[in-house]
Copies of this chain bind each other. A is one copy, B any other.
Amino acid sequence: MESKTDQFRGYLKRFVELTDPEWQALEKELTFRTLPKKRFLVQQGQRTKELYFLVQGAARLYYEKDGDEKTTYFFFENNLLGDYLGCLAGQPSAMSIQTLEDCELIAFRYETLTALYEQFPVYQIFGRKLAEYLFMGLDMRLAELLTLTPEERYLKFISTSIKRKIIERIPQQYIASYLGITPVSLSRIRRRIADS
C-alpha cells in the first residue's frame, strides 16, 4: 500500500528524479490536510502562500464577477493546485479554489519551494519544468477557447474526460462555466447533439 507521501514523490518523478536527501528536505516540510466538500482552499482577494498536492478528491477554480462565478479549471487526485500566480506575483488571489468532494491534501509553503531552489539544483530544474508544464496547459486551453465554438469545446471536453470518468464528478453548471457558456446554453447544446 502506497503512502500519501509516496504518492506525492511518485508525482514529482514526472519532472525530476530526487535522491533521498533531496526528497527528505521537502518531505519534512509537508503537512497533511483533509477538507470537506464545498470548502475553500484559496479565497479570492486573500493572500495564499501555500501550494497543495491533491491526494484524493476534486476541486474547481473559479473567478467571481458581478455576483456570479466563472469556473475555469478542475483538479483531481494526483495533481498540484493552488494560487501559483499569486505566489509568483506576490499578490492576493484573483480567484477561489473550492473542493467539489471531500479532499485529502498535502500542503507546503511556496517559500519552502523557493528555498529548495537555492539549496538543490534539482529543485531549480523542477521549478522550471513545473512552470513549463503549467504554461503548456494554459496555452492549449487558451487555443481551444479562441478557436473552437462552445459546442466543439463541449465535444472535446467529454471526449477527453469520459475516459477518466471525470465528467460524472462535476456538476453540469460548472462544466458550462468552464466552456464559457451558461448552464441553460449547455443544456441546449446537449439537446442538439442528442437529437442529431
Could you list which residues of chain A lie within 8 angstroms of chain B, going by C-beta atoms? 63, 65, 70, 72, 84-85, 88-89, 94-95, 117, 121, 124-125, 127-128, 131-132, 134-136, 138-143, 145-148, 180
Number of copies: 2
Whether the Cβ atoms of B88 and A143 lie closer than 8 Å is: no
Whether the Cβ atoms of B131 and A135 lie closer than 8 Å is: yes
A94 — which chain B residues lie within 8 A by C-beta? 143
Which of B65, B88, B95, B136 touches A132 (beta carbons < 8 Å)? Answer: B88
CA distance A125 to B125 in the complex (A): 8
Nearest residue (CB) in B for A118 is B125
Nearest residue (CB) in B for A178 is B146
Interface centre among A65, A72, A135, A140 (most CB of B within 10 A): A135
CA distance A180 to B149 in the complex (A): 11
A62 to chain B, nearest CB (A): 9
Whether the Cβ atoms of B147 and A89 lie closer than 8 Å is: no
Whether the Cβ atoms of B138 and A142 lie closer than 8 Å is: yes
CA distance A14 to B136 in the complex (A): 22
CA distance A117 to B132 in the complex (A): 14
Whether the Cβ atoms of B124 and A128 lie closer than 8 Å is: yes
A147 — which chain B residues lie within 8 A by C-beta? 63, 65, 70
CA distance A132 to B84 in the complex (A): 9
A63 — which chain B residues lie within 8 A by C-beta? 143, 146-147
